[in-house]
Amino acid sequence: MAQAEDTGGLSDRPGYYEGYIQGLRRFYHGPHFGTLKEHEEWLVLVYDRDQAKADRGRGYQHGLQGIKPLAMSCSRTYEGSVS
């Protein structure tokens, strides 16, 4: 999870990583994390016309499945320099 949190700050798709982290938490804790209503709201985001919301939904679904996040696409390195 720490890697996903670090990556989210460097990515040009921070919403995806926000959703991914939320999904990982639900994956790990199960129904004890969040409410059923919140879970359902996250699940349907993937269908939103707003691309940022859809990215959060895709990230949530990937985290919920416990799969690796999408490859990072960013213009910075971990040291903070521009590449």
For 37-64, the pLDDT digits (tens) are 999 999 999 999 999 999 999 999 999 9
CB burial string 21-39: b at 16+ within 10 A, e below: bbbbbbbeeeeeeeeeeeb
CB 61 within 8 A of CB 43: yes
pLDDT at residue 65 in the model = 94
Entry pTM: 0.72
pLDDT at residue 11 in the model = 61
**Mean pLDDT of the residues in the chain:** 78
